[in-house]
Amino acid sequence: MKLLITGGAGFIGSNFIRYLLKKYKNYKIFNLDKLTYCGNLDNLIDVEKNPRYKFFKGDIADKKIVEKLVKNVDVIINFAAESHVDRSILEPDSFIKTDIFGTFTLLEAAKKFKIKKFIQISTDEVYGSRKIGYFKETDPLNPSSPYSASKAGADLLTLAYFKTYNLPVLITRSTNNYGPYQYPEKIIPLFITNLLEGKKVPLYGRGLNKRDWLYVLDNCRAIDLILHKGKIGEIYNIASGYELTNLELTKIILKELNKDESWIEFVKDRPGHDFRYALDCSKIKKLGWRPIYQFKKAIKETIDWYKKNQWWWKKLKSGKFLEYYKRQYEKKE
């Protein structure tokens, strides 16, 4: 099988590429990534010489490069997205361009070249917030931020291509992922790396917002299962079922790094901050998936990874990463 993984230099995409190359010895992977600030070829430094893997720099909204790649593959898995809520509040235009128009460009190419499967990687945030109970795949979408609205738009467009053109699409919606190679603007790597640098951790409001935490490799396992056994035209929720308030999460990280609560700096809450995301995962469980990574163990391993790989994240937080990365990519060309 030949797969086009878009956004494969990002956090979840790079973990998924590594997972596929290890599990399937006859799969070939093309990685298309624009290499924005959170796309990082260091995420895949251990597989870059694998003969079954090839990287292409480009934008999913660029019809020319998309068609060049799509005509040679069997499957498209679209991880490419602008994904940070805070950035979407300040710069919503880039989210609309990538998440909606970029998805449209991929769907058009998939239709033109009769792709066997198109998997859209989405998010639990498209459902909005819910204080009690769990969202099912059939629930209406109620996004709160420009980011989640752009992802909801991409989901609806993907489903429209299934209904109108019979394009073989599937959609995954996962909860908050964590693990190695996550860009240090997200709460877990930001707080870990801040504390390792001797800096306080900025916690929104009183830290009472709740999130379900899913280890990235459990998400990779779920996407793999959906790729091979998912029903065309369906949406699949993916969650661990392990919920924490942001304050509880912060205390766990502090404890693992031998810090007390004086290292917390409570800051003004962001606009439209969803209180809780929670998913009903009965559909994917019927396919045989269960999370296998326990949070207490996986968070320790995640913290340990950031301790041991300061070479990876220190340049990202230095403000000099774009210049460094431009030089790095020019060398690879």
The active-site residue out of 99, 125, 155, 212 is 125
Select which of 99, 124, 212, 218 is catalytic.
Answer: 124
Active site residue 125: yes
| Every domain of the chain and the residues it spans | 2-332
CATH number assigned to the domain with residue range 2-332, chosen from the 4 options 2.60.40.1120, 3.30.413.10, 3.40.50.720, 1.10.260.40: 3.40.50.720
- Condensed to tens digits (0 to 9), the pLDDT of residues 141-186 reads 998 888 889 999 999 999 999 999 999 999 999 999 999 999 998 9
Measured distance between the N- and C-terminal CA atoms of the chain, rounded to whole angstroms: 26
The catalytic residue among 53, 127, 147, 236 is: 147
Q: Is the pLDDT of residue 322 over 50?
A: no
Instruction: Look up residue 332 and give its two tokens.
Output: 């690879």
Residue 200 has pLDDT above 70, yes or no: yes
Q: What pLDDT, in 10s, does the model give residues 6-16?
A: 999 999 999 99
250: left (phi over 0), alpha (psi -120 to 50) or beta: alpha
The CB density around residue 49, as the number of other CB atoms within 10 Å, is 7
Q: What number of H helices and E strands is found in the chain?
A: 13, 12
Instruction: Give residue 328's pLDDT.
Output: 42
CA distance 175 to 193: 22
Task: Answer yes or no: are the C-beta atoms of 181 and 15 closer than 8 Å.
Answer: yes
185 is catalytic: no
**DSSP summary character for residue 73:** -
Give the model's pLDDT for residue 324: 43
Residue 134 is among the residues annotated as catalytic for this protein = no
